[in-house]
Structure 1
Amino acid sequence: QTTYTDKGEKPEKGKFVKFHHVTFWVGNAKQAAVFYCDKMGFEPVAYKGLETGSREVVSHVIKQDKILFVFESALNPGNEEMGEHLMKHGDGVKDISFQVEDIEFLIKVTKERGAVVVKEPWTEQDSHGKVKYAVVQTYGDTTHTLIEYLGPYKGLFLPGYNASVVKDSLLPKLPPGLLNFIDHIVGNQPDDAMVPVSDWYQNCLLFHRFWSIDDKQIHTQYSSLRSIVVTNYEETIKMPINEPAPGKKKSQIQEYCDYNGGPGVQHIALNTSDIIQTELKILVDFDDKGYLLQIFTKPVQDRPTLFLEVIQRHNHFGFGAGNFKSLFEAIEKDQDARGNLTAYN
């Protein structure tokens, strides 16, 4: 594995602060939100829908400590954009949102460097404050919404949202999830697309390489992967970019791309300070400075696409290279059960 120490020059403006929230497009937002609350320890926090004046799309926002997930569905028949997205990708991540400073500067830079701006900067406000947004395209059909607070915002989530309408009497009886913040979000790419995507983050968002690994280091007897992790200057946002490498059998990265209909978010890693209380069968990776503990869920929908990771770090800033083989072998067992551990073409 390679760890990069050169951040490059600090950008003059346009700071990326942190992950803000992740938006999922799903067939039934209410039920999806309840699943994550009941299974992972989230709580309903905010809502936008017919009752709040949102006539086209419903949004259920759930929260756990600093982690915010938003589940959205179409309210009306004939919503082609959301319908085609679901038909192609199934339930999954549509948007990864970043809190930033100086959106106007960032959009100017990204456009100059060739990024596709899906939506130019606009402002929304309500009685709790004012927020500026913009949207840029990243890999596949995934987008990044940039969010800038124009002064303090005192609402539950963002302008236009009310308190959640979901009241689940089961939640207070469940143990806490103990998840604190988004550690990293992994994007899977087809073969030979990893470097162009990581270059896009470096050129257009002024990120830098943080960590990488190749197929000589990460492989089983059947399959392997390559990965480059990019991050913002402050290193608060980590985005690993994976691609499959040729092997005897089809890589789980390729299986993801096949079932997702192209590139997309493979998994979301959620940081905890007490992994022992959260799950069992924990993977350990370490170096001479520290260690990390990891565990991975199976896919959280019927397609073998998106899954979740729980991670705890002790002075270790890698991504579990020592655990990749164990993870791959576990996924390969499931691949085989699905009939997808087939010869690599």
Structure 2
Amino acid sequence: MATLEPEVLKPATIQGALPLEGIDHVELYVGNAYQAAHFYRTMFGFRPVARAGLETGVRDRLSIVMEQGDIRLVLTSGLDPESPIARHAALHGDAVKDVAFRVADVDAAFHTAVARGARPVSPPQVHEDEHGRVVRATIAAPGETVHSLVERHGYTDMRFPGFVAITDAPATRPTGFVEVDHVAVSMEQGQLDHWVAFYKDVLGFHQSHHEMVWTKHSAMNSKVVEDASGKIKFPIVEPAHNGGKSQVQEYLNFNHGAGAQHVAFLSDDIRATVRAIRENGVRFLRIPGTYYEMLEERVGAVDPALMAELQELGILVDSDDDGRLMQIFSEPIEARPTMFVEVIERQGAQGFGSGNIKALFEAVEREQELRGNI
């Protein structure tokens, strides 16, 4: 395994950046929203809070809003097999469709983005009822994903007009997820720089990291773009030729194109979170014991009791000039080896675990071998 020393880029002053206020919600297109809601409730501790469907006058879909901390997931299923929602789920499996941004002025943000080169998907539309008003527009993102721009008046609880509250959901045990830390995107070789330029030129993001990684089987080129506040972050990766079938290429093959490979949820106590979701049945990538034997050489002294707990749980540790981070990666949460979940705790660190890439790639490659995809 070899890696180029990661390049960490400090943000410059961004002129004309779109005034994004953070991630409003993440919408997934799924085969069965009821079953997906049960999965995210029982496995990850998300609470169903609202729904829209036939009984609320929505004729083409069922959507269920799930929440935990400041995270809102919208799980949406199509009601007709020929609908774009159902076809998306059939092609990609259950997958992220929309990473939506909160804005103060949708009309201004949408037209600015389009003028800078964004492909419009849906112009600003107003949705309102007796509880408030939401204005929403949408632009294209990598693959078949999109970014909606959401302006809220009254609907500060992240719900939407046309949705009704869910008041009879079973008790839910939160697992400690606080907010979306980042969404990682995989794309075809040769497309990385195009989409990095999109986020920089259209949305006013800056590139904060760059690294190249390769092993016997895998090779990956990775760049990270984020907004000026650091609230919205997208690690973007593409496969690089090295004679093998990389984990990025495996994702592209089974997803049938670019898309969100994983969503990273921030936790204030990763050890408690991992114990909770592991008890719920979530499975994690297996990390070799040799990783922990060399850990202190990279990150400095670690309390022996903490080291034992990290090894028991399979949690990875990395450090940068700003502090440490701890992270762990689930096995794929779909039938296909596509989307997975990361849990991350930041103790000052601003990076994405560059020092853990080797352990992660080796773990993924072991799983690929079991699937017969190397």
Q: Same fold (TM over 0.5)?
A: yes
- Unaligned stretches of 5+ in structure 2? 1-5, 275-312
Alignment-derived partner of residue 265 in structure 1: 260
User: Normalised by the size of structure 2, how large is the TM-score?
Assistant: 0.85
Q: Which structure 1 segments of 5+ residues have no match?
A: none
Q: Distance in 1 between matches of 2:214 and 2:355?
A: 11
CA deviations on 1:209-261 (whole Å, 9 max, x unpaired) are: 122212xxx23232121111111122210011111112242110011001100
Equivalents in 2 of 1:30, 1:10: separation in Å? Answer: 44
Match in the other structure for 1:295: 328
Deviations 1:146-167 (A, max 9, x none): 1012x44355612111112662
1:134 to 1:165, Cα distance in 2 relative to 1, 3 A: same
Are residue 126 (structure 1) and residue 129 (structure 2) matched? yes
Determine which of 234, 250, 263 is the counterpart of 2:229: 234
Corresponding residue number in structure 2 for 1:224: 219
What letter matches 2:150 in structure 1? I
User: Are the counterparts in 2 of residues 189 and 262 from structure 1 also a CA contact under 8 Å?
Assistant: yes
Q: Displacement, 1:187?
A: 0.6
2:90 is the counterpart of 1:87? yes
**Following superposition of structure 1 onto structure 2, how do residues 98-247 of structure 1 map, counting pairs within 5 Å?**
98-149=101-152, 151-154=153-156, 157-164=159-166, 167-169=169-171, 171=172, 174=173, 176-214=174-212, 218-247=213-242
In structure 1, distance between residues paired with 2:156 and 2:248: 41
Letter in 2 for 1:163: A
1:329 aligns with 2:334: no
Q: Kindly provide the CA deviation profile for residues 16-42 of structure 1, in whole angstroms up to 9, marking residues without a partner as x.
A: 110111111111011011101100111
Distance 1:289 1:115, change over 3 A: closer
Q: Deviations over 1:188-209 (max 9, x none)?
A: 0111111111111111112111
Residue identity in the other structure for 2:327: Q
Counterpart residue type for residue 22 of structure 2 = K
Aligned to 2:20: 16
Post-superposition offset of 1:263:
0.2
Q: Which amino acid aligns with 1:289?
A: D
Which sits farther off after the overlay, 227-236 or 38-47?
A: 227-236
Match of 2:249 among 245, 251, 254: 254
Displacement of 1:62: 0.6
How far apart, CA to CA, are the structure 2 residues paired with 1:36 and 1:80? 24
Is residue 73 of structure 1 aligned with residue 71 of structure 2?
Answer: no
Structure 1 residues 288 and 106, CA, compared in 2 at 3 Å: closer, same or farther? closer
For residues 312-343 of structure 1, give each alpha carbon's deviation from its aligned partner in whole angstroms, at most 9, with x where no partner exists. Answer: 001100000111111111111111111111xx
User: 2:200·2:206 contact (CA, 8 Å) conserved in 1?
Assistant: yes
* Whole-angstrom distance in 2 between the partners of 1:154 and 1:319: 30
> Equivalents in 2 of 1:16, 1:156: separation in Å?
16
Aligned length: 331
Q: Find the counterpart in structure 1 of residue 57 from structure 2.
A: 53
- Structure 1 CA distance, aligned partners of 2:112 and 2:156? 30
Cα distance 1:228–1:55, how it changes in 2: closer, same or farther (>3 A)? same
CA 1:162–1:6: 2 relative to 1, 3 Å: same
SS at 2:214 equivalent? coil
* Paired position in structure 1 for 2:353: 320
Percent same amino acid at aligned positions?
39
In structure 1, C-alpha distance between the alignment counterparts of 2:106 and 2:247, rounded to whole Å: 37
> Could you tell me whether the CA contact under 8 Å between 1:231 and 1:238 is conserved in 2?
yes
Cα displacement string for residues 289-324 of structure 1 (whole angstroms, at most 9, x for unaligned residues)? 311000111111101100000000011000001111
Deviates more, 1:119-128 or 1:267-276: 119-128
SS at match of 2:170: coil
- Aligned Cα root-mean-square deviation (Å): 1.6
